[in-house]
């Protein structure tokens, strides 16, 4: 098992990619702190993992609130003794064309997707730097390259790329790697409401002609969290079925 006895904090782990990552990490031997604002989803995932014999706990966390993020990291360390992996997966969208985009929707998306990623990474680095080891995996998106009706989302995910590269430079001296995963269209709750005709258009633009499964993103998370990826840092890896090749 690639992650035997490692301790991982995964945000947005109550559903979708975060849930798939928590399940994959447990299969690889990790102990997992499931973080989410959705109490029902987060508790469900943690309890199901515990029922399988895994060491897991749920911590309700608003990643935009520094005190809650610090509590999350402290709870994980108190429960499991250390922190080896952070997966910054929590994210939201509030889509609208820029001319009609409400200021509060701009603020909300930047707060969760970019500020939340920073706050979690900052808190994790305090522990990882003292250990002289760690893996931070951030979540960007194909949307970082630009997308109609997603000025706020694109800006937040492009910001994650810049943040990732900067953190990689700063954390390298502590033997902490920082990378970003940029998924394309993925079968999650965020995409579940897409009208069928729109879905057909999206899939038609993807060279592999399908959306990703959350488990496929989780597989990359597991690799980047493992010793096999020890010399990879500051990178952004697109998992998008080839659509970014055309950009």
The residue from 25, 58, 80, 153 that is catalytic is 153
Task: Please report the pLDDT score of residue 247 as a whole number.
Answer: 74
Closest CA to 239 of 114, 194, 222: 222
CATH class given for the domain over 7-239: alpha beta
CA distance between the termini of the chain: 37
Residues 84 and 78: their CA atoms lie apart, in Å, by 13
Non-local (6+) Cβ contacts of 229 within 8 A are: 135, 177, 179, 223
Per-residue pLDDT of 109-146, as tens digits, reads: 999 999 999 999 999 999 999 999 999 999 999 999 99
Q: What is the pLDDT of residue 47?
A: 98
Determine the Cα–Cα distance for residues 86 and 117; give it in Å rounded to an integer.
10
d(CA 228, CA 75): 28
Local structure of residue 206 (DSSP, 8 states): S
**Residue extents of the structural domains in the chain:** 7-239
What is the predicted pLDDT for the residue at 38?
Answer: 97
Contact between 127 and 77 under an 8 Å Cβ cutoff? The reply is yes
Active site residue 174: no
Q: What is the pLDDT of residue 191?
A: 77
Q: Is residue 219 packed enough to be buried (19+ CB in 10 Å), middle (13-18) or exposed (0-12)?
A: middle
Q: Give the phi and the psi of residue 154 in degrees, each rounded to 5.
A: -60, -45
The pLDDT value recorded for residue 33 is 98
Per-residue model confidence (pLDDT) at position 199: 85
Segments of the chain with pLDDT less than 70: none
Cβ atoms of 46 and 57 within 8 Å: the answer is yes
d(CA 236, CA 224): 11
Beta bridge partners of residue 183, listed in sequence order = 239
pLDDT at 97: 97
């Amino acid at each position: 098992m690639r992650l035997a006895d490692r301790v991982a904090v995964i945000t947005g782990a109550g559903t979708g990619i975060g849930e798939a990552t928590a399940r994959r990490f447990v299969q690889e031997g990790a102990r997992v702190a499931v973080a989410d604002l959705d109490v029902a989803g987060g508790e469900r995932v943690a309890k199901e993992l515990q029922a399988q014999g895994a060491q897991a706990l749920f911590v309700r966390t608003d990643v935009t609130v520094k005190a809650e993020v610090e509590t999350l990291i402290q709870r994980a360390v108190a429960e499991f003794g250390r922190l080896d992996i952070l997966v910054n997966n929590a994210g939201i969208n509030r889509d609208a064309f820029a001319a009609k985009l409400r200021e509060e929707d701009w603020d909300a998306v930047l707060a969760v997707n970019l500020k939340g990623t920073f706050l979690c990474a900052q808190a994790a680095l305090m522990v990882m730097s003292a250990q002289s080891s760690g893996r931070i995996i951030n979540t960007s998106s194909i949307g970082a390259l630009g997308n109609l009706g997603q000025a706020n989302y694109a800006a937040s995910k492009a910001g994650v790329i810049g943040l990732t590269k900067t953190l990689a430079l700063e954390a390298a001296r502590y033997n902490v790697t920082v990378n970003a995963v940029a998924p394309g269209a993925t079968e999650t709750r965020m995409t579940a409401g897409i009208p069928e005709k729109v879905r057909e258009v999206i899939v038609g633009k993807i060279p592999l002609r399908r959306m990703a499964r959350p488990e496929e993103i989780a597989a990359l998370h597991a690799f980047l969290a493992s010793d096999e990826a020890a010399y990879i840092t500051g990178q952004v890896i697109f998992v998008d079925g080839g659509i970014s090749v055309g950009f």
